[in-house]
């Protein structure tokens, strides 16, 4: 998962985006509403926002560099809106990266 | 005090990011001399600038901006919500510049896309909107 390769960067950003979303929804939001501790949302909200924007930039970079169908591009953007989506997508991206390197 | 220091770094990072978003596509889309391909060394240098300078500046701008907005409690303000839409567009345009520069380095003979040619002007339009919203802070809804 090299950072110099757009696919590697996209996979890394996918993991970061998915992890921050899970932490936000699974930990910070319950802490705010059930534990009366809103600070976690205050911190994780912007962190997830940054991760989402970074994933978006990486996805558009990958698509702009060519070799993607419209359906594949839509899949790249759609998964960022679904919890676990970027994790589920990672296997597909890994297979694509492996196919490109052979 | 911390807010103002962060704001100064945010504006500095934004300036570097916008400079890259205007200059890199302008130079990438400059047509080569008749009968010649684009210079691969120049393309690689522009690609390197986009990767090593513009991308970190974008991440710093976004990170500091989100921190500032959270710190000041601006997220419920309509002007910031509209500003975030423009930021989303700029982030997407950055992806276009990064991807197209990679493609042009790999294939110097490929014609530059119409979208890449439009990026500097779209960047200026978004930047003007962002400056207006951040300075005037209008109540829109």
User: What is the pTM (predicted TM-score) of this model?
Assistant: 0.89
**Least confidently predicted of A51-55, B33-37, B122-126:** B33-37
Percent of chain B with pLDDT over 90: 77
Residue B55 Cα, gap to closest chain A Cα (Å): 9
Given a cut of 70, whether residue B25 has pLDDT beyond it is yes
Classify residue B112 by its DSSP letter: P
Provide, as residue numbers in chain A, all residues whose Cβ is less than 8 Å from the Cβ of B69. Answer: 46
Asked if B45 and B99 touch (Cβ cutoff 8 Å), the reply is no
Closest by CA to A64, choosing from B64, B96, B116, B106, is: B96
- Calpha distance A16→A34 (Å, rounded): 26
Provide, as residue numbers in chain A, all residues whose Cβ is less than 8 Å from the Cβ of B67. Answer: 46
Choose among A42, A49, A60: nearest Cβ to B99.
Answer: A60
Nearest C-alpha in B relative to A42: B70
Closest by CA to A60, choosing from A9, A15, A3, A2, is: A9
Choose among A42, A59, A66: nearest Cβ to B95.
Answer: A59
**Least confidently predicted of A60-74, A88-102, B70-84, B125-139:** A88-102
Classify residue B52 by its DSSP letter: I
Take residue A60 and report the two structure tokens written for it: 């558009």
Asked if A99 and A7 touch (Cβ cutoff 8 Å), the reply is no
Asked if B65 and B74 touch (Cβ cutoff 8 Å), the reply is no
pLDDT at residue B108, rounded to an integer: 85
Residue B107: pLDDT band by 50, 70, 90 thresholds? Answer: confident
pLDDT, tens digit, 9 for 90 and up, residues A7-60: 888 999 999 999 999 999 999 999 999 988 899 999 999 999 999 999 999 999
Residue B96 Cα, gap to closest chain A Cα (Å): 6
Burial class (CB in 10 A: 0-12, 13-18, 19+), B89: middle
């Amino acid at each position: 998962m090299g950072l110099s390769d757009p696919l590697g960067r996209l996979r890394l950003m996918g993991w970061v985006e998915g992890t921050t979303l899970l932490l936000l929804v699974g930990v910070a939001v319950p802490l705010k509403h059930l534990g009366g501790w809103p600070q976690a949302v205050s911190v994780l909200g912007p962190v997830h926002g940054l991760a989402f924007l970074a994933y978006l930039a990486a996805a558009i970079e990958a698509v702009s560099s060519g070799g993607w169908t419209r359906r594949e591009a839509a899949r790249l953007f759609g998964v960022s809106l679904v919890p676990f989506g970027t994790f589920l997508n990672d296997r597909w991206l890994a297979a694509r990266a492996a196919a490109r390197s052979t | 005090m911390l807010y103002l220091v962060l704001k100064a770094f945010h504006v500095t990072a934004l300036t570097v990011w916008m400079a890259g978003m205007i200059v890199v596509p302008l130079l990438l889309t400059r047509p080569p001399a008749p009968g010649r391909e684009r210079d691969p060394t120049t393309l690689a240098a522009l690609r390197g600038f986009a990767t090593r300078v513009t991308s970190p500046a974008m991440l710093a701008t976004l990170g500091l901006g989100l921190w500032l907005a959270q710190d000041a409690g601006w997220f419920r303000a309509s002007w910031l919500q509209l500003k975030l839409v423009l930021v989303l567009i700029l982030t997407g345009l950055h992806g276009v510049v990064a991807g197209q520069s990679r493609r042009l380095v790999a294939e110097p003979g490929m014609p530059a896309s119409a979208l890449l040619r439009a990026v500097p002007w779209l960047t200026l339009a978004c930047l003007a909107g962002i400056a207006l919203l951040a300075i005037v802070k209008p109540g829109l809804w």
